Amino acid sequence: MKKAKQIQDMISKPFDLLSEELVFIILDLVAQNPSDLKSFSLTCKWFYQVEARHRRSLKPLRAEYLPRILTRYRNTADLDLSFCPRVTDYALSVVGCLSGPTLRSVDLSRSFSFSAAGLLRLAVKCVSLVEIDLSNATEMRDAAAAVVAEAKSLERLKLGRCKKLTDMGIGCIAVGCRKLKRVSLKWCVGVGDLGVGLLAVKCKDIRSLDLSYLPITGKCLHDVLKLQHLEELLLQGCFGVDDDSLKSLTHHCNSLKNLDASSCQNLTQRGLTSLLSGAGCLERLDLAHSSSVISLDFASSLNKVSSALQSIRLDGCAVTCDGLKAIGTLCISLREVSLSKCVTVTDEGLSCLVMKLKDLRKLDITCCRKLTGVSITQVASSCPLLVSLKMESCSLVSRDAFWLIGHKCRLLEELDFTDNEIDDEGLKSISSCRSLSSLKLGICLNITDRGLSYIGMGCSNLRELDLYRSVGITDVGISSIAQGCCHLETINISYCKDITDKSLVSLSKCSMLQTFESRGCPHITCQGLAAIAVRCKRLSKLDLKKCPFINDSGLLTLAHFSQGLKQISVSETGVTDVGLVSLANIGCLQNIAAVNTRGLSPSGVAAALVGCGGLRKVKLHASLRSLLPSSLINHMEARGCSFLWKDYNNHNNSNTLQAELDPKYWKLQLEEDIEL
C-alpha cells in the first residue's frame, strides 16, 4: 500500500522528480523565445519560482515596473533599461537597493531624467558593477562623471555623445576607476588631449578606447600608445590627428590589433606610417573615407603590419590599380577587404588584389560601378573560401559571372546582389551554397519564381531574403521560399506588385519570422495579414505602407496576437481611429508611422498616443501638429517620444502608387539620385 501511494504521488507530481539544476538547463534552451519562457513559468508555482532564480538578464518596458520586477528577480546581473526613456533618480535608487549585490551591468543609453544623485546611489549600492552605458546622456556634466568614479570595480564604460563632459570629468573617472578596460568617448566633443592623456596614464589595463570625433591631436596618442594591453583604438573623424602631430611619435604597441582611422581627413601616408610603425601585430585597419589616394606609395606604409593584417577597409577612398596590387602582394593574410563606393576600382585592380588572397572570407565591392564579369570571375576562381560577398549596383557584371560564383564559392553565407543582372540560372547556381543565411535580391529585374524555387530547395538555412522591387516575383516564388526556408526571420517584398494574400498565408508557416516588409503591395488584404499575425508569434517589425486594403480589421488582429510587435507603419492605408487605438494593446510597441492615412482624426490619434505608453518615435502628417493638444505632445516628448512631422502630398495616391510600381519610373528616379 505504501509503495503504491508513493507511485501515485510520483504520477500526480511529476515535476518533483526534477532537480533545480536540470530545470536550469531546460530554461537555458527555453529562454530563446520570451513567449515560451512565460508559458514555462506559468506551468506551476515551483516553475514560477525556479524561473525567477534562474534569470540573470532583464529588459523591462517601463521604469515604473522596476520595484515589482526586481523584487521577483533577485539574481539580476544584467539590466537593460534602453526601452525605458524616463528613468528617474528614484528608479535608480530602487535598482541599487534591490539588485545591488548581484548587478554587474546596466544600460542607460536611451534613458534620461536621472541626475548625479541617482547615479551616486547606483554606484555606491552596486558594489559588483563592472559595466555601465551612459551613451546619449547629452545633459550629463562633470559632477555626474565624478559620481561614476565611485564605481571602483568598473571595467567597461560608454559615454558616447555626452557632449557636456570635459577633461575634468574624465580626469575624475580616470582617478576613481583604475580597473577600466573598455572606454567609449565617441562624440564627447568637450574632451581633449588632457582628459584622454589622464585616462591613459591612470588606467593601465585599457584594452579598447574609442576616441571618435574628439577634438584631440597626436599629443595624447603618445600616452595612449604606451598602454601595454591596448588592443583596439578608434580614431574615426579625429580631424586634429594629422601628419605634423604624429611626426615625433615613436611607440611599440605590439598589443594593438584593431585601428580605425577612418574619416581622418588630415592624415596622409606620412602620418599613417608613424601611427603603424610600432603596431606589428595589427589585424584590422580601417581607412575608409581617407583623403589620401591609395596608391603604390601609400600601400608601402603597410610594410610594418602586412604579416598580421587580416582586415582592411578602404570604403570611399580613391584607389589606384597599383595600390590594390601592392596591398594584395604585401598583405597575403587578408581575410576581409571592403572597397564599398570606391568608384575608381577597375577589373584590373580588383583582379590583382584577390589573385593571391586565397584565404579571403569577406569582400565588399558595393557601388564599384566599373567592375564587369572579368574581375568577378577572378574573385570566384581565386577565393573559394568566401563566406560574404556584397556587390550591390555592380550592374556591368554579366549573368555568367553569377553562375560562376555559386559554382566556385560553396561556403557563402551572405550575398548582396541588389540592383544587378543576375537571372534564374544564377540563382540555380547560388542554391548550391547550403550555408547561405542572407540573400539580397532587391531591384533584380531578371529573376522570376523559377529562380526562387531553386533557392527554396537548396538553401534551407536562409534567415534573410530581400526582394525589394523585384517585380518578376509572384505568389508561386514566395510559396517555394516558405516551404523550403522554414527558419526565415526577415523578408522584404516591398513593391512586388503581383504579391497577394496567398504569399502571406505561405509565409505564416515560417514561425520564426520577425521582420515583414510589404510596402506598396496593392493586393494584400487583412486576411493575409491575419495569417501572419496568428502564426508568427515573434513578429517585431511590420511595414504595411501603401497597402490600400489594410484596414482596422487587420490591426485588431495584430493587437490581439502580435504582442511582441515593436515597429509598424500604416501610412497610406485604410486604417481609421479604431485600428490605431487598438494598437495600445501591444505593450512593447515603440515606433508608429501613420502619414496620409485618411481615416484618422486628431482625437483618434491623441487617444492612440495616450494608450501606447512605450512609444519612442511617431511619424505623422504635419497637418496634425496644430490639431493635437500641445500638452499631449509635450507630455509624450517628456516621456521620451520623438515626433517626425511629414508634409506629404495627399492627392492622387493611387496614381502615385501605380507610377512607383512601374520599373521604368523608379529606375529613372534612382539613376537621377545617383547622378546628384
- For residues 242 and 222, what is the distance between their CA atoms, to the nearest angstrom? 13
Pairing mode of beta strands 464-466, 541-543: unpaired
Q: What's the pLDDT at 21? A: 78
C-alpha grid cell, residue 355: 589573385
The secondary structure of 309-355, three-state, reads: CCEEECCCCEECHHHHHHHHHHCCCCCEEECCCCCCCCHHHHHHHHC
Q: What's the pLDDT at 202? A: 96
Q: What is the DSSP string of 210-242?
A: E-TT----TTTHHHHTT-TT--EEE-TT-TT--
Q: What's the pLDDT at 655? A: 58
- For residues 394 and 610, what is the distance between their CA atoms, to the nearest angstrom? 48
φ and ψ of 380, to 5 deg: -65, -40
Q: Are 349 and 324 in contact (CB under 8 A)?
A: yes
- For residues 647 and 385, what is the distance between their CA atoms, to the nearest angstrom? 49
**Number of separate helices (H) and strands (E) present in the chain:** 29, 26
Which DSSP letter does residue 625 get?
T
C-alpha grid cell, residue 219: 599629443
pLDDT per position as a tens digit, 226-271 = 999 999 999 999 999 998 888 777 767 889 999 999 999 998 888 8
Q: What's the pLDDT at 212? A: 97
Start-to-end CA distance of the chain, whole Å, equals 89
Which DSSP letter does residue 92 get?
H
3-state secondary structure of 481: helix
pLDDT along the chain (676 residues), means of 10: 55 63 79 76 82 89 91 95 91 95 95 93 95 95 96 96 96 97 97 97 97 94 93 96 81 89 91 86 94 83 87 95 93 96 96 94 97 96 97 95 96 97 97 97 97 97 97 97 97 97 97 96 97 96 97 96 95 96 94 94 95 92 94 90 83 58 60 47
The identity of residue 257, as a single letter, is K
Look at the alpha carbons of 423, 424, 428, 431 in this order and tell me if their dihedral is positive or negative: positive
Q: What's the pLDDT at 659? A: 58
Which DSSP letter does residue 112 get?
B
- Count of alpha carbons within 13 angstroms of residue 351, beta-carbon side: 12
Pairing mode of beta strands 78-80, 57-58: parallel
Q: How many residues does the chain have?
A: 676
Q: What's the pLDDT at 306? A: 85
C-alpha grid cell, residue 118: 541617482
Query: How many CB atoms lie under 10 A from the CB of residue 407?
Result: 12
Indicate the angle between helix axes 552-561 and 526-535, nearest 10 degrees.
0
C-alpha grid cell, residue 553: 480589421
Which residue matches cell numbers 532564480? Answer: 53
- For residues 388 and 217, what is the distance between their CA atoms, to the nearest angstrom? 36
Q: What's the pLDDT at 307? A: 87
> What stretch of H or E contains 403?
helix 399-408
- For residues 393 and 399, what is the distance between their CA atoms, to the nearest angstrom? 14
Calculate ∠ Cα 328-333-336, nearest 5°.
80
Query: How many CB atoms lie under 10 A from the CB of residue 101?
Result: 11
Q: What's the pLDDT at 667? A: 59
> What stretch of H or E contains 127?
none
Indicate the angle between helix axes 167-176 and 193-202, nearest 10 degrees.
0
Q: Are 605 and 628 in contact (CB under 8 A)?
A: yes
Q: What is the DSSP string of 143-170?
A: HHHHHHTT-TT--EEE-TT-TT--HHHH
Look at the alpha carbons of 372, 377, 383, 387 in this order and tell me if their dihedral is positive or negative: positive
Pairing mode of beta strands 293-294, 258-260: unpaired
Q: Are 231 and 222 in contact (CB under 8 A)?
A: no
The answer to pTM > 0.85 is: yes
Q: What's the pLDDT at 405? A: 97
